[in-house]
Each structure stands twice: as structure tokens, then as C-alpha cells.
Amino acid sequence: MPKRSASGRKRFDVAIAGGGLAGRTLALALAKLSPRGFRIALIDAEPAPSEKGEVEDARALALSAATKNLLSALDLWEKLAPSVQAIEAIEITDSALNAPLRPYFLGFDDELNQNGASAFMVEHGALSRVLAAAVEIEPAIDTHASDRVTGFTADQFAVAVSLGSGKGITASLLVAADGKRSPLRERAGIKCVGWSYPQIGIVTTVAHARPHHGKAVQHFLPSGPFAILPLTGNRSSIVWTEDAAEGAGLMAADEARFRDELTKRFGHRLGEIALAGPRQSFRLDMQIARAFIADRFALIGDAAHVVHPLAGQGLNIGMRDVAALAETVVEATRLGLDIGGAVVLERYQRWRRFDSAFSAAVMDGLNRLFSNENAPLRILRDLGLGLVDRAPAVKRFLVREAAGKSGTIPSLLTGERL
């Protein structure tokens, strides 16, 4: 049972606003790994998953090997395993849609399999359900579903958090995991740098006649990348980046036209295809918060950074925040430090801000390099990636990047316990 503060509010160690994938994972990491019985409040504007009905996010997520390590440390990977498809090979091409053959200019095959797969596909709904079920049975987490954080004020000792339901709680630290529009970030007065892309991301699932053998394909087209990502069974997830106006037309198109346009891009190498899931579109932005912390306050996940989805890294970068913040807080607790104090939070910020900004810049650069028809640029990029294809050491480096294994990585992402 959480204690009560002098004001009669329930007292927690950490309050987390936002029960998306990042918020739930952080709640579980703190509950399971803290050296003394931490109390965590998890407040989410959405209803509890059991009350939400059947509507699911159409996205599937590429999870890096580092994210797999984090989920394994929390005993979640085993539960997720039946829904996971390993990516065994990646082909990248920018050939024209009407080309009779689609030669690829960069292939990852052996590099991915040297130390086990570097990336894994899982549907958003499957990951969300596994996290929700684990949160539900975790006694250290107090869940407030269908409620939202409406205000907070920090002082020397605690942060007082007000909820839309009229309830109030206090905590040593408030974490905003409330998504890219993050109302809490705004309330904390933290500005972002970034821009919106003139593109939208259309997501759907297809079933196909032939097996994909774990192969992912990234087809760079002038209007944006078209990705075919292997799911369990003879199914693939599509992430189709399209010019915003053209994309809106595709979202409004009837099923026959949508399927025809999809087939043109998908090609015929996996045989006959059929739509096997809803289509959903997402506005695409690049955004980095100018600060990741304020008084007794930290940002994680999309609230801290949003990247172009072309390399499937958004949540993986968010999971790096989760692991770094959990490690920072657990170490601070061991040392008897105030977990919401400036010294502790500045360590988290130093760890995560540069890495997130670097990843966002790389995704942005790739999108700019590939989403156009400029002929000299095309020759240069084909040459560049063709050279990379002949240099195994460079390819191994790129695979380590994608696997989340480069830079200073939190222990939880390497498979170690805290």
C-alpha cells in the first residue's frame, strides 16, 4: 500500500504519465528491478486494455536485439515469443516500380545472423497486451486508467500531481511518457526542435501465398520508402511512406484500388497477396525536446523524441530511455540519493539527449537522401551503398547500430540485470 503524504495524497516513488509501450515498460522495470520496494503510479488517458474492445493499432514494430534484451530482463520476451518473427535478411533497393527486375544494392544476410538475429518483428497489439498483462499482476504498480495528469508542481521534497478525476498523488519523480504531443512536456515549458514531413505513413498487413523466409525489403521510392516486414506465418507488415496528398487519396480509396496500388509496389515475388488487416495512417514528424528533464520531471519515449519510421527505430530509442532512466534511478537509490534530484536527472539527460538527437538526424538524412528523383544524387547513393555492400566491416557496423549495440549502452540493453 502506498503511504500518504501530509496533505493526504497517496505517496509514490515514481509517477508515470502515459501507459503506452514506453510508460508500461518503465513501470515494470522500476517495479521489478529497484533494490527496495518502489511504489509506482501509472496514469493513462486510455481505458484499461481489457475495456478497450477489439480496435488495435495496425502498426507492427521492428524491435532491436537491445530491446529484446530489456524485455528478456523483465521476463517478458518468453511471453512475446509466439508472436515474434526474426528478421533473417534485409534487402534495400531503389529501382523503379516498372523495372522488370528489382536488383538490390545493399543486402544484409550473413551479417544479421553472425550472433543471432539483430531485429525482430512483432505486432503492436501483441506487445501491448503482454505489457498490460504484466502491469496488471505487478503489485508495486498502481494503475489509473481512463485518467490523465492535468497539472503538477515540484518542490524540494516531492512533485504533487493532479489527475483529471480530481484525485491527487505525490511522488519523488514524475515521468512523462505521454506521446509525441506530450501535454506534460508543454506544461513543463519544454520546447521542441523539429518539423513535419510532407509525407504520411500508411500501415497495413498483407497475407501472401509464398513464405518470406524472414526477409525484410526496404524499397526507396521517390515519394518515400515502402517497407515489407516479415510477420509470423505467411504475412508481412507494410509501412508505406507516401506524399501527404497522394496518401490521403489512398486512405480514402476503396479496397480494390488500394490493393492494386499496394500490389504495384509489393511486386509478385511472394505470389498472390490479400489484405489481412486494417489500414491506418500516421503523420510523420521529426522532433527532439530541447531538454529531457525539469524539476523532478523527466521525458521518455515519443514525448522526448520522434523520428521518421523508415528504419523502425522510434520505440527502440524510447526503450534506451527506459533502460537508462531505470539504471540511473536504481543506482541513485543504492547510493541513498534523491531520485528526483537534479544530479540524478542530469545524468539521465546527458546519457540520452545526444544519442536521441543523433538517431533522429540519421533517419532524417536517410529520408532526404532517398525520397527524391534527383539523378546525380541517385548515382551517388547507389554507388555509396554499393560500396558498403562490398565492405563486410562497414555492414557489421550498420547492423550493430540497428541492433542498438553501439555507443554507451545501459546494462539492461546488454542482457545484464541491474
Ligand X SMILES: Cc1cc2nc3c(=O)[nH]c(=O)nc-3n(C[C@H](O)[C@H](O)[C@H](O)COP(=O)(O)OP(=O)(O)OC[C@H]3O[C@@H](n4cnc5c(N)ncnc54)[C@H](O)[C@@H]3O)c2cc1C
- Amino acid identity of 156? Q
Query: Least distance in Å: CB of 336 to ligand X?
Result: 30
Q: Does 46 bind ligand X (CB under 6 A)?
A: yes
Among residues 13, 14, 20, 235, which is the contact residue for ligand X, using CB under 6 A? 20
- 62 lies in the binding site for ligand X (CB under 6 A): yes
321: how many CB neighbours lie within 10 A of its CB? 29
Strand, helix or coil for residue 227: strand
119 binds ligand X (CB under 6 A): no
Question: What phi and psi, each to the nearest 5 degrees, are found at residue 415?
Answer: 95, 0
What gap in Å lies between CA 215 and CA 229, rounded to an integer? Answer: 7
Which three three-digit cell numbers place residue 194?
A: 523539429
What's the min distance (Å) between Cβ of 337 and ligand X?
26
**What is the closest distance, in whole angstroms, from the C-beta atom of residue 36 to ligand X in the complex?**
26
Residue (173 or 315) nearer to ligand X, CB: 315
Q: Is 224 in the site for ligand X (CB under 6 A)?
A: no
Pairing relationship of beta strands 10-17 and 60-64 according to DSSP bridges: unpaired
Tell me the three state secondary structure of residue 239: strand
Of 223, 313, 333, 356, the residue at the interface with ligand X (CB under 6 A) is 313
φ, ψ (nearest 5 deg) of residue 336:
75, 20
158 to 197: interface string for ligand X, x by CB under 6 A: -------------------xxx---x--------------
| Residues 270 to 289 in contact with ligand X, rule: CB under 6 A | 282
**Is there binding between residue 49 and ligand X (CB under 6 A)?**
no
Nearer to ligand X, 135 or 333 (CB): 135
Instruction: Pick the closer one to ligand X by CB: 113 or 150.
Output: 150
Q: Which helix (H) or strand (E) holds 184?
A: helix 183-187
322 touches ligand X by CB under 6 A: no
* Phi, psi torsion values for 322, nearest 5 degrees: -55, -50
Q: Is 125 in the site for ligand X (CB under 6 A)?
A: no
Bridge partner list, 143: 42
Q: Tell me the number of residues near ligand X by CB under 6 A.
A: 33
Please tell me whether residue 148 binds ligand X under the rule CB under 6 A: yes
Q: How is the beta sheet containing 85-86 ordered, strand by strand? A: 60-64, 119-123, 85-86
Distances (CA, A) of 96 to 103, 145, 262, 382: 10, 48, 15, 13
In the complex with ligand X, the residue whose CB is nearer, 148 or 235, is 148
404 binding ligand X? (CB under 6 A)? no
> Amino acid identity, residue 170?
T
Q: Of 125, 230, 301, 340, which one interacts with ligand X (CB under 6 A)?
A: 301
Q: Which of 14, 15, 22, 299 binds ligand X (CB under 6 A)?
A: 22
Find all residues with CB under 8 Å of 164, minimum gap 6, and list them: 147, 148, 149, 150
Residue from 87, 154, 161, 315 that binds ligand X (CB under 6 A)?
Answer: 315
Query: Of the two residues 340 and 404, which places its CB atom closer to ligand X in the complex?
Result: 404
Q: Are strands 89-93 and 106-108 parallel, antiparallel or unpaired?
A: antiparallel
How far is it, in rounded angstroms, from Cα 392 to Cα 387? 10
Interface residue list for ligand X (CB under 6 A): 17-23, 43-46, 59, 61-62, 148-149, 177-179, 183, 201, 203, 239, 282, 301-302, 309, 312-316, 318
